[in-house]
Chains A and B, each alone.
Chain A
C-alpha cells in the first residue's frame, strides 16, 4: 500500500544573488513498512527532501501526497495537526524535552492527541520495552547516554502510530555499538509495527541494513535501489 508519493518535487532557495536548486524534480513512492535510506554527499539535498516530506518546508513546485492528502493544500494549522497524526520524527541531536522523563517524552505526543491515560501508559510501556529502556522510564534525558536518548526519540516517533517515520542522520552522534543497537531496534519495530522508516544518512551501517537506498546528487535522484 502506498503511504507517500512525491511528484516532480522541486525546491529552489532564492538568495539575493544565487538561486539554489536544493531538490530537483524528485518523484518517489514509498509503500507501507519500507525501510529506506536516502544517501548522498553533504549538500546533496537529503535534509531538504526530508523536511519537504515531513511538511516542515513547502516545495517550490510539485506535489507531496501522504495517504491521499496533498500537503500543499493544507493550511499551516492543518499541517501541524497532520504531522502530529501521520509523521514521526527522529532528529540527529535527539531533541528530547530535557525536563521530562523518558516515559513523559514518549507520552507527550499521545497526550497532544488526547489519548486516554490507560492507552498512553500501555503504549509507552510497550515502546520503552521494545527499545530496551523500560527500566529507565523515569530517567530524564540528561541521565541517559546518547544511544539511549535516541532510542527514546524512536519510541516517541512511533508513539502515535504514524504512517511513516523520518529520521535525519539518526546515528550521526552515536558510537558504533549504540548505532547498531538503535538500527536493530528500528528494523524490529519496522517489521512489528509495519511503519515505514525513511532515513537520511551518511552512515554505511544504516545503508547496509536499509531495504531500499535512494541516492541523491545535487538535489536529483541518481539511483533508487530496492534490495531483497
Chain B
C-alpha cells in the first residue's frame, strides 16, 4: 500500500512532477550518451592499439629500443620462440626486424623505424592489412620486381607523396555530392593547381571560401582533392649490422591509415628478406617477438613467465607499452561512475526542492497519517519512495532515450572529421561509434536509486518533525 500510495502521490501534481522527471531524463540522457561516446572512443583506441600497433606482449633484446643497435638481435637457436610458443594461453607469435633509419624523397625526409615483416604471419596478429587506403596499393599482395614499402598516410603527406589538386573531375564529384554551385565557382579559381602538401592546400582554400562554407564543405573538398602519386619512390637509409650506412630505393606499395598520426609518421614496413639483404642480418634472426594471447587478462601472468625464464630480455605487456591506455581501461568504470554521479548530484537539488514543496503542501495529510497510526519509518519510506519514483521514472526514460540514441548512431558512427587532425595526433579516430555495456546501465540505475534516497532524506526528516495535532489544524 505504501508503494501504491507513493506512486500515486508522484502524479498528484503532474506538471511539477513532469518538470522534475524531464530534467532527470535530459540529465541522464546526456550522461549516458556522453559516456557511450567516450567509451566508443576508448574502445576504438584500445582495439586499434592491440590489433594494429602493439598486440598483447612484445619481447626485444635488453635495451634494444633504447640503443637502436641492429646487432642486438635474437636467433631461433636462443630457444625463445619455442619457449613462448609452449606457454599455455599463447595464441600466435610473429617476429620482426626493426631498424631505425630515414625515409626520404627528392624534397623531403623523415626519421622512421623500418620494420622487416613476414606479411603472411603478420596478418595472423595484426589488422594493418585492412587499413591500406583503397587505390594506394595493397599489403604486399602483388609480386613486384621492385622492393616495396608500406608507409603511413601521415608519412606520405610529409614526404609529399600525397598531394592535393582541384581539377574538373574533382569539381564534378563535388557537384554530385550537392556542393552548392557558388562554392564550386569559387573552387574553379584553384583548378589546375597542385599543392604539394595539405597545409598549402588548406591555406588557399581558406582564402577563397567563407568560414561557414569551410565548416560545411571543407572536409569534403579536402577528401576529394586528395591524390596519391602512383609509383612513388622513397629512399630508405639505415645502418647495417656492422654500422655501415646503406640506402635503397623502394616503391610505395601501399599507404595505410590507422588514425594515429605518430604511428603513421614513423612506421615503415618492408619485407623481412629485403631488410636482411640490406642489413646483412640473417633472415631467421629478429629484433622483436610479438605475442598474441587468448585472454588479455592473462597478459601480466604470461609476461612474468617469460621474464623469469629470460631475465636478459625486455618483456613488456600492452599495459607497460601503453600505460595511458592501461590507466584508461583500468579506471574507465570509476570515471564513468564519477561522471554520472556529478550529473545526478546536480539533479538531486531539484528533487530535494520538489520534495520539500511536497512535504509543505501535505502537512495536514502527513499529520493525519501519523495520527491514524502510520509510524515514522513508514512516513519516511513513503516520502523516500516518492523521491525514488520521481528519479527512477526520469532516469529510466533518460536511459531509454540514451540507449535509442546509441543504437541510432552506433551503426554509422558520428564523424568529427573537422577535428580529425587533432584527434588522430593522439591516436583517436575522429569517426566515433558510441557503445556502452549493459553493466553501465545497472550502475546508473543504482546511482539513480541512491540519488532518490539521498534527495529524500532532508524533506522526509522535515515530515517526521511534524506534530500531528498541529499539522491536522493546518489550513
B9 touches A89 (CB 8 A): no
Assess whether A54 is interfacial by the CB under 8 Å rule: yes
If the complex has contacts A57-B469, A111-B1, are A99 and B373 also in contact, measured as CB distance less than 8 A?
no
Assess whether B284 is interfacial by the CB under 8 Å rule: no
Listed stretches B242-250, B363-371, B432-440; interface member: B363-371
A54 touches B12 (CB 8 A): no
In chain A between 37 and 73, which residues have their CB closer than 8 angstroms to a CB of chain B? 51, 54, 56-57
Assess whether B186 is interfacial by the CB under 8 Å rule: no
- C-alpha gap A202/B390 in the complex (Å): 44
A84 touches B469 (CB 8 A): no
A107 touches B370 (CB 8 A): no
Contacts of B5 in A (CB 8 A): 97, 99-100, 104, 108
Contact of B373 among A85, A91, A104 (CB under 8 A): A85
Contact of B372 among A89, A99, A100, A104 (CB under 8 A): A89
B374 touches A80 (CB 8 A): yes
In chain A between 101 and 136, which residues have their CB closer than 8 angstroms to a CB of chain B? 104, 107-109, 111-113
If the complex has contacts A99-B8, A99-B9, A100-B8, are A80 and B370 also in contact, measured as CB distance less than 8 A?
yes
Assess whether A81 is interfacial by the CB under 8 Å rule: yes
If the complex has contacts A80-B370, A80-B375, are A95 and B1 also in contact, measured as CB distance less than 8 A?
no
B365 touches A97 (CB 8 A): yes
Which chain B residue lies CB-closest to A156? Answer: B372
Instruction: Give the Cβ gap from A57 to chain B, nearest Cβ, in Å.
Output: 5
A interface footprint on B1-29 (CB within 8 Å = 1, 0 otherwise)? 10011001101100000000000000000
Which chain A residue lies CB-closest to B6? Answer: A99
Q: Which has the most chain A C-beta neighbours within 10 Å: B370, B371, B472?
A: B371
A-B contact count (CB 8 A): 66
B373 touches A109 (CB 8 A): yes
Instruction: Give the Cβ gap from B393 to chain A, nearest Cβ, in Å.
Output: 16
Assess whether A77 is interfacial by the CB under 8 Å rule: yes
Contacts of B193 in A (CB 8 A): none
- C-alpha gap A92/B369 in the complex (Å): 15
B interface footprint on A155-176 (CB within 8 Å = 1, 0 otherwise)? 0110000000000000000000
Q: Which has the most chain A C-beta neighbours within 10 Å: B12, B371, B373, B376?
A: B373
If the complex has contacts A57-B469, A95-B472, A108-B1, are A83 and B8 also in contact, measured as CB distance less than 8 A?
no
Contact of B469 among A51, A81, A112, A156 (CB under 8 A): A51
Assess whether B378 is interfacial by the CB under 8 Å rule: yes
Contacts of A91 in B (CB 8 A): 368, 472
The number of chain B residues with a CB under 8 A from chain A is 22
Assess whether B468 is interfacial by the CB under 8 Å rule: yes
- C-alpha gap A57/B467 in the complex (Å): 9
Which chain A residue lies CB-closest to B9? Answer: A99
Contacts of A81 in B (CB 8 A): 373, 375
Contacts of A83 in B (CB 8 A): 371-373
- C-alpha gap A109/B472 in the complex (Å): 17
A84 touches B468 (CB 8 A): no
Contacts of A89 in B (CB 8 A): 368, 371-372
- C-alpha gap A150/B114 in the complex (Å): 92
B364 touches A112 (CB 8 A): no
Contacts of B1 in A (CB 8 A): 104, 107-108, 111-112
- C-alpha gap A57/B468 in the complex (Å): 9
Contacts of B378 in A (CB 8 A): 112
Contacts of A100 in B (CB 8 A): 4-5, 8
If the complex has contacts A56-B468, A95-B472, A100-B8, are A80 and B364 also in contact, measured as CB distance less than 8 A?
no
Which chain A residue lies CB-closest to B364? Answer: A95
Contacts of B9 in A (CB 8 A): 99
Contacts of B369 in A (CB 8 A): 97
- C-alpha gap A76/B373 in the complex (Å): 11
- C-alpha gap A89/B367 in the complex (Å): 12
Which chain A residue lies CB-closest to B11? Answer: A99
Which chain B residue lies CB-closest to A99? Answer: B8
- C-alpha gap A156/B12 in the complex (Å): 22
Instruction: Give the Cβ gap from B376 to chain A, nearest Cβ, in Å.
Output: 7
- C-alpha gap A83/B367 in the complex (Å): 13
- C-alpha gap A90/B374 in the complex (Å): 15
- C-alpha gap A157/B469 in the complex (Å): 17
A77 touches B371 (CB 8 A): no
Contact of A56 among B364, B374, B375, B469 (CB under 8 A): B469
Contacts of B371 in A (CB 8 A): 54, 56, 83, 89
Contacts of B364 in A (CB 8 A): 93, 95
If the complex has contacts A95-B472, A100-B5, are A112 and B368 also in contact, measured as CB distance less than 8 A?
no
Contacts of B375 in A (CB 8 A): 77, 80-81, 84
- C-alpha gap A113/B1 in the complex (Å): 11
Instruction: Give the Cβ gap from A174 to chain B, nearest Cβ, in Å.
Output: 18
Which chain B residue lies CB-closest to A168? Answer: B472
Q: Which has the most chain B C-beta neighbours within 10 Å: A54, A57, A84, A95?
A: A95
Contacts of B373 in A (CB 8 A): 80-81, 83-85, 109, 112-113
- C-alpha gap A93/B371 in the complex (Å): 14
Instruction: Give the Cβ gap from B115 to chain A, nearest Cβ, in Å.
Output: 72
B interface footprint on A195-227 (CB within 8 Å = 1, 0 otherwise)? 000000000000000000000000000000000
B12 touches A95 (CB 8 A): no
Contacts of A109 in B (CB 8 A): 372-373
Instruction: Give the Cβ gap from B201 to chain A, nearest Cβ, in Å.
Output: 68
Instruction: Give the Cβ gap from B470 to chain A, nearest Cβ, in Å.
Output: 9
8 contacts between A and B (CB under 8 A): A56-B468, A77-B376, A80-B374, A84-B373, A89-B368, A107-B1, A109-B373, A111-B1
Mark B residues whose CB is within 8 Å of A. 1, 4-5, 8-9, 11-12, 364-365, 368-376, 378, 468-469, 472
Mark A residues whose CB is within 8 Å of B. 51, 54, 56-57, 76-77, 80-81, 83-85, 88-89, 91, 93, 95, 97-100, 104, 107-109, 111-113, 156-157
Beyond contacts A56-B472, A85-B373, A98-B365: 4 other A-B pairs, Cβ-Cβ < 8 A, are: A51-B469, A99-B5, A109-B373, A156-B372
